[in-house]
């Protein structure tokens, strides 16, 4: 694993563990379920928040409550996505899904509690105390892009798309909402934590779009088992074919790299974001 990824992941894991402390013994059952599902994963979204903040001169410790917030939302979405009424998955992050381990009602509540905790993580932080305007901007973008105008809206369209054939344009919109939106909020929260100006935020938003689309296309490529007949209707590989999926993921990665060159020309060091794009390519080539 890349050294900076591991380092950031450790920072986020430890902050999450402290935030979801088991000291609240009266609600120990729900804390247990939250910890079970939230303490794990690659932490790519939180890493993006920390790294964008740092590139623009902000301490990672200041950006950490934002990284924790987006990872709480990520964990909640995965718990709810696995429920029988959604994707009905028994396994997640290499172990039984939350509802298998704790029952459906507790899994639903653990997801709800992680979603709401995301906003406590920001509002109760020292970062919000010292710079409330930046914290409000972060809450605004996260609530917009995780909600019906972002991830939840995408999930609704995705559920519909699982039942009927979809065209490329619709699938692009689904990815934009279901996956790219949360990644975009991660990047922008990092920019906001550092007080980056609007032009920089716009540039970074474009990187987030390229990264997010490439990430989701590659996820669909990795899920494809070689059989188009049994492939899910809402898979990028089903809609476009494996070859085009690879080509499109590559094109998104190339566009992302061009954005990084612009950031470099402005005097910033986007090396880690370049490595993250290479990490995606390497993930795709594992197939
Ligand atoms: C149920 C409200 C609600 C939303 C669900 C994000 C999402 C929307 C569903 C999760 C299922 C899924 C496969 C979504 C596509 C995005 C994606 C590939 C998520 C998994 O992200 P990783 O690989 O997971 O970064 P880790 O475990 O590393 O955090």
**DSSP character for 41?**
S
| CA nearest ligand 1 atom 15, residue | 179
Question: Do 233 and 203 belong together in one domain?
Answer: yes
CATH number at residue 90: 1.10.600.10
Q: Specify whether 249 is located in the same domain as 116.
A: no
Same domain, 175 and 229: no
Are residues 142 and 225 both part of a single domain? Answer: no
Query: What is the DSSP pairing of strand 91-92 with strand 95-96?
Result: antiparallel
- Verify that 150 and 37 share a domain, yes or no: yes
Which pLDDT score, from 0 to 100, does residue 172 have? Answer: 98
pTM of the predicted protein model: 0.96
For range 42-65, the mean pLDDT: 98
* Residue where a domain stops, chosen among 196, 227, 254: 196
**Using 50, 70 and 90 to split pLDDT, how confident is the model at 283?**
very high
Domain span holding position 266: 197-287
Compute the mean pLDDT over every residue in the chain, rounded to the nearest whole number: 96
Domain co-membership, 35 together with 168? yes
Of 73, 74, 76, 107, the C-alpha closest to 90 is: 107
Query: What beta strand segments (E) does 70-217 contain?
Result: 91-92, 95-96
Q: What is the pLDDT of residues 245-260, one digit of tens each?
A: 999 999 999 999 999 9
239 with 155, same domain? no
Do 7 and 98 fall within a single domain? Answer: yes
Ligand 1 pocket mutation pick from 156, 162, 178, 214 by most atoms within 8 angstroms of CB: 178
Percentage above 70 pLDDT, the chain: 99
Which residue is closest in CA terms to ligand 1's atom 29? 41
> Do residue 167 and residue 281 come from a single domain?
no
Residue among 16, 47, 78, 160 to mutate when testing ligand 1 (max atoms within 8 A of CB): 78
Q: Domain end: 153, 179, 196, which one?
A: 196
| Rounded CA separation 276/44 (Å) | 9
Q: Which residues line ligand 1 (CB under 6 A)?
A: 41-42, 44, 74, 77-78, 80-81, 86, 93, 151-152, 155, 178-179, 216, 219
Domains: count for the chain: 2
Atom of ligand 1 nearest to the CA of 92: 27
Which of 148, 177, 196 is the endpoint of a domain?
196
Whether the predicted pLDDT of 25 surpasses 90: no
């Amino acid at each position: 694993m890349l050294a900076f990824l591991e380092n950031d992941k450790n920072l986020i894991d430890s902050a999450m563990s402290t935030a979801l402390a088991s000291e609240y013994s009266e609600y120990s059952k729900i804390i247990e379920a939250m910890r079970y599902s939230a303490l794990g994963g690659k932490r790519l979204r939180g890493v993006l928040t920390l790294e964008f903040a740092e590139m623009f001169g902000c301490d990672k410790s200041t950006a950490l409550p934002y990284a924790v917030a987006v990872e709480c939302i990520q964990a909640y979405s995965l718990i709810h996505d696995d429920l029988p009424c959604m994707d009905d998955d028994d396994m997640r992050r290499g172990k039984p899904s939350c509802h298998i381990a704790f029952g459906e009602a507790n899994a639903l509540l653990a997801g709800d509690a992680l979603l709401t905790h995301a906003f406590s993580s920001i509002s109760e932080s020292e970062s919000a105390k010292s710079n409330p305007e930046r914290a409000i901007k972060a809450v605004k973008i996260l609530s917009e892009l995780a909600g019906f105008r972002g991830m939840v809206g995408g999930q609704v369209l995705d559920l519909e798309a699982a039942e009927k054939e979809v065209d490329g344009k619709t699938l692009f919109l689904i990815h934009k909402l279901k996956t790219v939106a949360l990644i975009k909020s991660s990047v922008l929260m990092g920019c906001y934590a550092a007080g980056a100006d609007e032009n920089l935020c716009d540039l970074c938003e474009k990187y987030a779009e390229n990264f997010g689309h490439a990430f989701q296309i590659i996820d669909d490529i990795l899920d494809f088992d070689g059989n188009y007949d049994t492939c899910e209707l809402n898979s990028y590989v089903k809609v476009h074919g494996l070859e085009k999926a690879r080509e499109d993921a590559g094109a998104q990665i190339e566009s992302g790299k061009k954005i990084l060159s612009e950031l470099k020309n402005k005097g910033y060091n986007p090396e880690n974001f370049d490595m993250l794009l290479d990490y995606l390519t390497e993930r795709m080539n594992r197939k």
